[in-house]
Structure 1
Amino acid sequence: MKAITVLPFGVKYTPMEKLALINFEKEPDSIYKGFELQYLNGAEIGQGYRILAYRNDGYVDMYDDLSLLFNPNEECDVAEKGLNKHIQTNIANTVFEKLDGCVQISFDFKDLESRKIHVFIKEQTKKKSIPMNLLAPIGFGSEKPSSLPLFFLYNFDFIRRKSTIVDIRIDNKALKLDPFPFPFPMYGQMRYYTRYTMESQILEFFPIDRQVKEIELDERMRYTDQGINYKFVKTANGVGLSQIELIQEKKVVIHFSPAFVLENQTGEFSICPPEEMGHVDGIYQVEKNGDLANVSLIPNKGWTSNPNTRLTKIILSPKSVFCNWSKEYQYSSVVDLKKMNVRAKWINGNNKTGA
């Protein structure tokens, strides 16, 4: 017999396969201090490139290629102050590939001021590089986060400097890439701060939503929505959410112990991508009063990394920003089971103006 229950929150998956972060913050343009190139491939968004242009005023401009399915209501709070403008435009000469251990990144487009932007980066070294697996601190500076942004970046690496061709121009004014922030080479090779991955998983954990979903479970006590499996179990208090699973080649599983129910209880949760990526852990609490349930959740243990070299043990140490930024995120909501809505918010404690 199928069961009916409510789902007061969810997880959103963004089908981003490739990601490159290109910084020139030390000598910025008059408007921009960096670009983020994304390659997206999914049924709801289409297949193509997106560019996030990070502005000096703390906002971000989002440029979508014509091949993507444009969503004018899409939000972007990975920047400090959030989205400035979101437009669809032609992004030409796009290359994002890795051959014989060397990456090439290129694109051309016009920005909001009709300025010609040209980016061309091509590695040419024959030396090998050792990548790392990283939970990116994308949400560190967000002032008004709408979720806990989990950017799992596999085989993440920094551009080597030797023999690399760099040609970045805005209206024919040349820009310089920022150098690697550590005063030593990585594995015997000097680097730029520009970094990339050809394999990524982007999850928005508990995105803010005003509605509570009433859902029907199948015979296996599961509910599936947009490539996400929600698994429930019977508890003493009814039906509880025990697990959320991303249905992809690299699975991400979120465990709740005990199973989450909208009754008085406390518990723990773990966000577990493949073993090489480590895990994120935290606590949750529910306080029920009539038709209202107050929910709080804090990833207070942060990210536990899984370093693959002596250097990554230093970079991804338990005291690093990579392992600690998520500890400062706090989720709280009031779920009204009578009106079937939820008032929710995230607070980013890394940013004292977060709200």
Structure 2
Amino acid sequence: MNHPQNIYLEEESILYLPFQFEIDPMQRLLLVNFEKDPDGEYIGLEPQYFDDEANGRGLLVIAWRKDMRIEVYHEAGLRPDPDKYDIAGNGLAAMHQVDFDKSEFEISGTGVLAEIEFRDKSNRKIKIHIEEKHPKKREPFGLLAPMGDAASNPSAMPLVLLHDFYFVRRKHTQLEVSIDGRKHQADKLPLPLDGTWMYFARYSPDPFIVTFNPATSEVLKPVRLDNRHLTWDYNGKAKEIKSLIAEGDGHQVSLSFDPAFPQFNMIKPGLEVKGSFVIAGEKSTGIIKGIYTVSTKREGVQILLHPDGGWIPNEKKISLRLLYAMAGIFRNWPKTYLWTATLQQEENHWVMISSWERLKK
């Protein structure tokens, strides 16, 4: 589906792409919450393991604080970028390189095996011990993690697509979290899943971490029309974008439009053009739906993206559908995000300034 041709100027122009996906490789992750039995400072611990050229190789642990800022503890073999952590909660408080006394973190068919020990900024010993030995086969699934719900001033929309995702089962599991010698009770899932009671501790051996449309102030580069990751079509002399695909870590994520996204630099002044968009990863991780608006004035163009349809899971399990219904955070957090881009033509190029904001729930 295309827009009416009469919205466009007659003069043909170069195509620009105002949208971007950035992929951050990660091998596996685990998140253990103890909000109901908190430490004086921390309410959750999130081990992550990396092995790639961008980040290096090794273990990293995010310590979630009560004020929803994060402390990042990492091995010397890692090169984490501090800028990417502003999309987590209320942002990065500090980053610390530490020596882990124990750094075992594996995920297998039986579940999680984690033996992690290190000292935090206050020289307190932090210990995570999880050993799952449940005889029943796991029944993992995919989802979009609601990480973006915690961000107060995001510079991008975080799309944490988790494959082979599951919760830690309570039975046949040793689980201990201690800080400075004091043990903390891990939070529990309020209803059984697959006939088994679970901790709220959850993990994925196959995460696909994507940031959508990082805030920017940049000169847009012309699009190569033979780009295999971009599909477009002529609408008269205008070129409208149907979809954009990004690939990495063995997965892909796509952004598609209906009607196709208009060529913003050819729209007549004084018009407002609307449509819908869908962000989709693998089938198991569901989709995000939203609307777009393109407004033109003589001084420039404004683009709005609002994921007002939220996350729509693709899940047949009744227990999971009930969980998503009870915990609206899973489906509703994208609805609070709004992306605004202002584009102006300067001489023979276009400059885009973009940002994200959180809307009131």
TM-score by length of 2: 0.86
> Quick one: which of 28, 31, 44 aligns to 1:34?
44
Cα distance in 2 between the residues matched to 1:298 and 1:271: 12
81-90 vs 156-165, which moves further: 81-90
Over 3 Å counting, the alpha-carbon distance change for 1:93 and 1:241 in structure 2 is farther
Q: Which residue of 2 aligns with 1:226?
A: none
SS at match of 1:76: helix
Structure 2 SS opposite 1:75? helix
- The answer to whether structure 1 residue 316 and structure 2 residue 324 are counterparts is yes
Moved more, 311-320 or 97-106: 311-320
User: Higher Cα Rg: structure 1 or 2?
Assistant: 2
Contact 1:18-1:199 within 8 A present in 2 as well: yes
Whole-angstrom distance in 2 between the partners of 1:38 and 1:251: 21
Deviation at 1:216, TM superposition (A): 4.9
2:278 is the counterpart of 1:276: no
User: What's the counterpart of residue 256 of structure 1?
Assistant: 257
Kindly provide the CA deviation profile for residues 110-157 of structure 1, in whole angstroms up to 9, marking residues without a partner as x: 222222211111112212332232111111132111122111112221
Taking the aligned partners of 1:23 and 1:318, their CA distance within structure 2 comes to 19
Q: 1:266 aligns with which of 274, 282, 292?
A: 274
Q: What's the offset of the Cα at 1:6?
A: 3.0
Distance 1:236 1:52 in 2: 51
Alpha-carbon deviations, 1:318-352, whole Å to 9, x = none?
A: 9833122212211112112227433322222256x
Q: Which moved more, 1:86-95 or 1:137-146?
A: 86-95
1:6 and 2:7 are equivalent in the alignment: no
After TM superposition, give the deviation of residue 251 of structure 1 in Å: 2.2
Q: Is the 8 A contact 1:6 1:212 kept in 2?
A: no
Within a 5 Å distance, the mapping from 1:305-344 to structure 2 comes to 305-317=313-325, 320-338=328-346, 340-344=350-354
Match of 1:191?
Answer: 198
The unaligned stretches of length 5 or more in structure 2 are 1-12
- Residue 58 of structure 1 is matched in structure 2 by 68
* Aligned counterparts of 1:337 and 1:88: Cα–Cα separation in 2: 44
Q: For 2:344 and 2:70, how far apart are their aligned partners in 1? A: 34
Q: Hey, what's the Cα distance between the residues in 1 that align with 2:200 and 2:359?
A: 26
The separation in 1 between residues aligned to 2:277 and 2:208, in whole angstroms, is 19
Separation (CA, whole Å) in 2 of partners of 1:269 and 1:185: 35
Matches of 1:49 and 1:236, distance apart in 2 = 53
Q: Which amino acid aligns with 2:263?
A: V
Letter in 2 for 1:238: A
**Compared CA separation, residues 266 and 319, structure 1 to 2 (3 A):** farther
**Separation of aligned partners in 1, 2:82 and 2:359:** 29
**Who is 2:303 aligned against?**
295
The whole-number CA distance in structure 1 between the counterparts of 2:42 and 2:36 is 11
Query: CA 1:327 to 1:187, structure 2 compared with 1: closer, same or farther past 3 Å?
Result: same
For the 8 Å contact 1:14–1:203, the answer to whether it is kept is yes
Do residues 163 (structure 1) and 179 (structure 2) align?
no
Between the two proteins, the alignment pairs up a number of residues equal to 339
**Shift in CA distance, 290/37, structure 1 to aligned 2, threshold 3 Å:** same
Structure 1 residues 193-202 or 321-330, which shifts more?
Answer: 321-330
* Distance apart, 1:268 and its partner CA: 1.5
The equivalent of 1:19 in structure 2 is 29
**Helix, strand or coil: the match of 1:269?**
strand
C-alpha separation between the residues in 2 aligned to 1:24 and 1:201? 25
Which secondary structure does the structure 1 equivalent of 2:203 belong to? strand
8 Å CA contact 1:151, 1:201 repeated in 2: yes
Q: 2:155 aligns with which of 127, 146, 155?
A: 146
**1:241 corresponds to:** 241
Verify the 8 A CA contact 1:136 1:152 in the aligned structure 2: yes
Summarize the Cα distance change of 1:234–1:89 in structure 2 as closer, same or farther, 3 Å threshold.
Answer: farther
Q: Please tell me whether residue 345 in structure 1 is matched to residue 352 in structure 2.
A: no
**Equivalent position amino acid for 2:128 in 1:** V
Contact 1:21 1:195 in 2 (8 A): yes
SS at match of 1:66: coil
Confirm whether residue 122 of structure 1 aligns to residue 124 of structure 2: no
Instruction: Classify 1:200/1:72 alpha carbon distance in 2 versus 1 (closer, same or farther; 3 Å).
Output: closer
The answer to whether the 8 Å contact 2:216/2:355 transfers is: no
1:69-107 C-alpha deviation (Å, 9 max, x unpaired): 24344433221x211112333334222223342321232
Alpha carbons of 1:76 and 1:92: their partners in 2 closer, same or farther (altered >3 Å)?
Answer: farther
Partner of 1:58, secondary structure, is: coil
- Which residue number in structure 2 is paired with residue 208 of structure 1? 215
Do structure 1's residue 101 and structure 2's residue 110 form an aligned pair?
A: yes
Instruction: Provide the TM-score with structure 1 as the length reference.
Output: 0.87
Structure 1 pair 159–318 and aligned structure 2 pair: CA distance change class (3 A): closer
- Structure with the larger helix share: 2
**Maintained 8 Å contact 1:132/1:308:** no
Secondary structure of the corresponding residue to residue 192 of structure 2: coil
Higher alpha-carbon deviation: 276-285 or 168-177: 168-177
Q: CA RMSD in A?
A: 2.4
In structure 1, what is the Cα distance between the partners aligned to 2:237 and 2:122? Answer: 58
